[in-house]
Structure 1
Amino acid sequence: MMLGSEMLQGLRPHTRPRSGQAFVTLVTNADYAMGALALARSIARTGTRADIVVLHTAGVRESDLAPLAALDCRLIEVEHLPLSDGFNERHAGGNLHAAAPFTKGRKPSFHTPLDNFCKLRLWQLIEYDTCVFIDADALVLRNVDRLFDYPEFSAAPNVYESLADFHRLNSGVFVAKPSLATFQDMLRQLDRPDVFWRRTDQTFLEAFFPDWHGLPIFMNMLQYVWFSMPALWNWNSVSILHYQYEKPWEENHPKAEQLRPLIDLWHSFHTGQDVPDIATLANPRAAA
Structure 2
Amino acid sequence: MAFITLASNDSYALGALVWAASLRRVGTTKDIAILVTNGVSDSLRNVLPKFFNHIELVNVLESPDPSILEALKRPELNITLTKLHCWKLTQYSKCVFMDADTLVVKNIDELFEKEELSAVSDIGWPDCFNSGVFVFVPSQQTFANLTSLAAKEGGSFDGGDQGLLNTYFSDWATRDINRHLSFIYNMQFASCSYSYAPAFKRFGDKVKVIHFLGSVKPWHYTGSEHANEFIKKWWSMYFSEVHPKIESLSDVGSLSSTIQSMSIQAAADESSVVDDRSASSANWQGQNVPFEVIQKKLDASIQKP
TM-score scaled by structure 1?
0.74
Tell me, yes or no, if structure 1 residue 133 matches structure 2 residue 94.
Answer: no
Q: Following TM superposition, by how much is the alpha carbon of 1:120 offset from its aligned partner in structure 2, in angstroms?
A: 0.7
Q: Following TM superposition, by how much is the alpha carbon of 1:247 offset from its aligned partner in structure 2, in angstroms?
A: 0.2
- Comparing 59-68 with 41-50, greater Cα deviation is found at 59-68
Bigger helix share: 2
**RMSD of Structure 2 on Structure 1 (CA):** 2.3
TM-score scaled by structure 2?
0.70
Tell me, yes or no, if structure 1 residue 75 matches structure 2 residue 34.
Answer: no
Counterpart amino acid of residue 182 in structure 2:
P
Match of 1:260 in 2: 228
Match of 2:189 in 1: 223
Separation in 2 of the partners of 1:73 and 1:96? 36
Q: Following TM superposition, by how much is the alpha carbon of 1:65 offset from its aligned partner in structure 2, in angstroms?
A: 2.8
Separation in 2 of the partners of 1:179 and 1:168? 23
Q: How does 1:264-275 map to 2 (within 5 A)?
A: 264-272=232-240
Q: Following TM superposition, by how much is the alpha carbon of 1:256 offset from its aligned partner in structure 2, in angstroms?
A: 4.9
Tell me, yes or no, if structure 1 residue 209 matches structure 2 residue 165.
Answer: no
Match of 1:178 in 2: 138
Q: Following TM superposition, by how much is the alpha carbon of 1:47 offset from its aligned partner in structure 2, in angstroms?
A: 1.6
Match of 1:31 in 2: 11
Counterpart amino acid of residue 144 in structure 2:
Q
* The one of 9, 31, 46 aligned to 1:51: 31
Separation in 2 of the partners of 1:199 and 1:250? 25
Separation in 2 of the partners of 1:266 and 1:123? 28
Structure 2: runs of 5+ lacking an equivalent: 173-178, 242-290, 292-305
Structure 1 contact 120–183 (Cα < 8 Å) conserved: yes
Residue-by-residue CA offset, 1:181-232 (whole Å, 9 max, x unaligned): 1111112211114655315100110110012221101000013497311222
Separation in 2 of the partners of 1:189 and 1:65? 31
Separation in 1 of the partners of 2:104 and 2:217? 16
Q: In the superposition, relative to structure 1, how do residues 72 and 167 fare at CA in structure 2: closer, same or farther (>3 Å)? A: closer
Separation in 1 of the partners of 2:113 and 2:32? 17
* The one of 129, 137, 151 aligned to 1:191: 151
Match of 1:113 in 2: 77
Separation in 2 of the partners of 1:120 and 1:200? 11
Structure 1 contact 124–179 (Cα < 8 Å) conserved: yes
Of the two, which has the highest radius of gyration? 2
Separation in 2 of the partners of 1:193 and 1:264? 42
Structure 2 contact 78–159 (Cα < 8 Å) conserved: no
Counterpart amino acid of residue 204 in structure 1:
L
Tell me, yes or no, if structure 1 residue 166 matches structure 2 residue 126.
Answer: yes
Separation in 1 of the partners of 2:189 and 2:47? 26
Counterpart amino acid of residue 227 in structure 1:
Y
Counterpart amino acid of residue 133 in structure 2:
V
Q: In the superposition, relative to structure 1, how do residues 205 and 194 fare at CA in structure 2: closer, same or farther (>3 Å)? A: closer
Q: In the superposition, relative to structure 1, how do residues 194 and 65 fare at CA in structure 2: closer, same or farther (>3 Å)? A: same
Separation in 2 of the partners of 1:46 and 1:251? 23
What percent of counterpart residues are identical?
Answer: 32
Q: Following TM superposition, by how much is the alpha carbon of 1:168 offset from its aligned partner in structure 2, in angstroms?
A: 1.8
* The one of 194, 200, 205 aligned to 1:236: 205
Separation in 2 of the partners of 1:195 and 1:166? 20
